[in-house]
């Protein structure tokens, strides 16, 4: 059994045809192998016991163990997950087993490809702080969509430089990311609840390493900035000015640098002065951004 939803769906389908009792009787006399705790949980919910569970939650571990024991002459039913069975049915058949492939459900294309495209482009443009992946096919499909629409490299770059967090529910889900050079955040146990806690813990840690300024700890996200625990009322352009100052960590930012992050193509130094004035007003702390005569501005660190 490779997935909990697949096993439950198999039993439900059997029940719809009046065969559930017979199926469970047969399974009770068979050796039941689970690819991880979710599959084991579904097996237990049906009143059965898994004889062995793959600790790594991978099909490769199942193949290694059973092929090592020998499967010649055995009849093995392999419950496919949404993207297949990772070749289990093939390797068992080649080793002499009689294999029945159980395709209970399949992953298919998204019902709203436009929503997928929009989310990938939003991630690439810096509008998203974290992307959470709960299945390997879903991760591969989303990353492939980003590549097809020309933003794959930008998405991977944001994951790699830490400006956007990639979080995966487990090692199998993480593989499409790792193949692209991304090391995602993962919980110790492959559970959605554990994944949420891992992501929360990540941002709690981020709070402890926030930029220390004279006005308090400063954290900047994709669309907001938090200063001393308060969300600042910043316009998008003012937020970009603050992001620029924070990225220099107390070093001087020239007026030209400020103009570069403002919308439009104006090179009027007065526009930079107005943007900094608005930033000071929004933060309520005029001492947060210091004017360096004839050079520009800098963020005052603690």
CA separation for the pair 137, 145 (Å, rounded): 12
Residue 207: band (very low, low, confident or very high) from pLDDT cuts 50, 70, 90: low
Delimit the domains of the chain by residue range.
4-102, 113-208, 211-299
pLDDT of residue 204: 81
Residue 209: band (very low, low, confident or very high) from pLDDT cuts 50, 70, 90: low
More confident site: 164 or 207:
164
CA separation for the pair 116, 145 (Å, rounded): 7
Chain CA centroid to CA 20, Å = 37
Chain CA centroid to CA 81, Å = 20
Residue 215: band (very low, low, confident or very high) from pLDDT cuts 50, 70, 90: very high
Count helices and strands in the chain by DSSP H and E runs: 13, 12
Residue-wise pLDDT for 120-173, tens only, equals 999 999 889 999 999 888 999 999 999 999 999 999 999 998 889 999 998 889
CA separation for the pair 11, 266 (Å, rounded): 67
pLDDT of residue 15: 94
pLDDT for residue 113 is more than 70: yes
CA separation for the pair 211, 246 (Å, rounded): 8
pLDDT of residue 222: 80
pLDDT of residue 105: 86
**pTM for this structure?**
0.66
Tokens representing 19 are 């065969």
pLDDT of residue 82: 82
- Cα-only R_g, the chain: 27
Half-sphere exposure of 54 (CA within 13 A, CB side): 23
Q: Which CATH architecture has domain 211-299?
A: Orthogonal Bundle (1.10)
Give me the CATH topology for the region 113-208: Rossmann fold (3.40.50)
Q: Rounded mean pLDDT of the chain?
A: 92
Residues 88, 95: contact at Cβ < 8 Å? no
């Amino acid at each position: 059994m490779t997935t909990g939803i697949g096993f439950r769906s198999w039993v439900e389908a059997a029940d719809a045809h009046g065969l559930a009792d017979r199926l469970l009787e047969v399974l009770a006399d068979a050796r039941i192998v689970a690819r991880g705790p979710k599959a084991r949980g579904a097996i237990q919910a049906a009143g059965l016991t898994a004889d062995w569970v793959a600790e790594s939650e991978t099909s490769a571990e199942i193949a290694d163990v059973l092929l090592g024991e020998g499967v010649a002459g055995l009849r093995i039913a392999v419950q496919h997950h949404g993207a297949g069975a990772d070749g289990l049915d093939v390797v068992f058949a080649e080793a002499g087993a009689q294999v029945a492939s159980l395709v209970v459900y399949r992953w298919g294309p998204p019902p709203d490809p436009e929503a997928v495209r929009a989310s990938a482009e939003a991630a690439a443009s810096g509008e998203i702080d974290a992307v959470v992946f709960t299945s390997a096919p879903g991760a591969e499909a989303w990353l492939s969509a980003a590549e097809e629409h020309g933003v794959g490299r930008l998405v991977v770059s944001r994951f790699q430089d830490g400006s956007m967090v990639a979080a995966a529910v487990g090692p199998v889900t993480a593989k499409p990311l790792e193949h692209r050079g991304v090391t995602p955040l993962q919980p110790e146990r492959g559970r959605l609840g554990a994944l949420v806690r891992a992501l929360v813990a990540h941002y709690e840690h981020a709070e402890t390493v926030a930029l220390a300024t004279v006005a308090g700890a400063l954290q900047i996200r994709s669309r907001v900035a938090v200063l001393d625990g308060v969300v600042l009322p910043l316009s998008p352009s003012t937020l970009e000015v603050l992001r620029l100052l924070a990225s220099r960590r107390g070093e001087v930012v020239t007026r030209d640098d400020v103009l570069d992050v403002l919308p439009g193509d104006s090179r009027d130094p007065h526009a930079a002065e107005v943007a900094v004035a608005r930033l000071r007003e929004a933060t309520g702390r005029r001492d947060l951004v210091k004017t360096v005569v004839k050079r520009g501005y800098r963020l005052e660190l603690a």
